[in-house]
Amino acid sequence: MTLYGIPPAPFRRAMAPDTGRDHARHIARDALAWWLENRGGTSDLSKAVGTLAALALAAPSSPAGPDYGPLLLPLTDEEVTDVLRSVWNNLWAYNPVLTEAARPLHEWLAHPSDDDIRGLSDYTRILVRAGLLEYASDLTRCEDEDLIGLLVQRMRSYADRQQAGQFFTPAIVANPHAEILLSEPIPPGARLIEPCAGTGTMVRAAAATLRFQGKDPADYQWWMNDTDETLIACCAVNAVLFRLGPNVTVSRGDTFRDVSELEQDAQARAARAIREQRRTPILYPTRTRPPRWPR
């Protein structure tokens, strides 16, 4: 039996690729293929990655959670847009600091044009059918590969990445690197800093290593920095997907500067985000009636 063209969630999980790495590559491949075919290029990176990021954040918190797939498939472009707004509104209420850091991925939702939202419902169906909800609800799969980073890499050309000096560390390198770095005991409360974070691949590997050692990443302080605002936005989302806990700092700047300046700037941005959230509890008012999500 299928619902709106997809099997129930338990069957989708059973049919998913065996590893998180393969699953992430499958999702990124389908997402890129749809975007290239239907949007004519990769210039709308913030919309492609921002939509995927929001739907990943909307996934259940565990594989045993409710099945949102059948609710998403029949939606129109306008209704999907409001679902994305609702996801960022929820994160804004829960963690305004990370939501502010992720703004490059969602600020287009404030006043999107017809062209901005064209085909978002089809894109959502592609992501749901590729298993995005099953991937994002399973921490083991999220820790196996950085899905958002994969999509960013594939949407940015090699020439663009070279010009910006961006060299993304693959998971097969990041994982053993993290195991070596964390081979010595690190006490809870220690600050783990990634000065050239990209989309957070090394942080993902470090969090996975700590969990393998029986430790909780939420007991540590995480600081991710990069010079690219889109990559920092991806780090903010990944901090939630990787379950890093409440002690996460993301900053944008040159690490050759005085680190204290970066820290002061990050603290000031965090304070502004908290004040803004108190003044404006709803980041993006919705315009359609959202679907009724099961609990």
Q: List pLDDT tens digits, range 236-285.
A: 999 999 999 999 999 998 877 777 888 889 999 999 999 999 999 999 99
Closest CA to 284 of 56, 89, 117, 72: 89
Please count the CA atoms within 13 angstroms of the CA of 162 that sit on its side-chain side.
3
Q: List pLDDT tens digits, range 90-111.
A: 999 999 999 999 999 999 999 9
Place of tokens 């045993």: 64
pLDDT at 4: 54
Q: How far is CA 266 from CA 5, 47, 62, 84, 139, in A?
A: 45, 25, 31, 26, 28
- Mean pLDDT, all residues of the chain: 88
pLDDT at 42: 66
Closest CA to 131 of 147, 120, 108, 117: 147
- Domain residue spans in the chain? 9-279
Please count the CA atoms within 13 angstroms of the CA of 209 that sit on its side-chain side.
22
pLDDT at 2: 44
Which regions of the chain are under pLDDT 50? 1-3, 158-159, 162
pLDDT at 295: 58
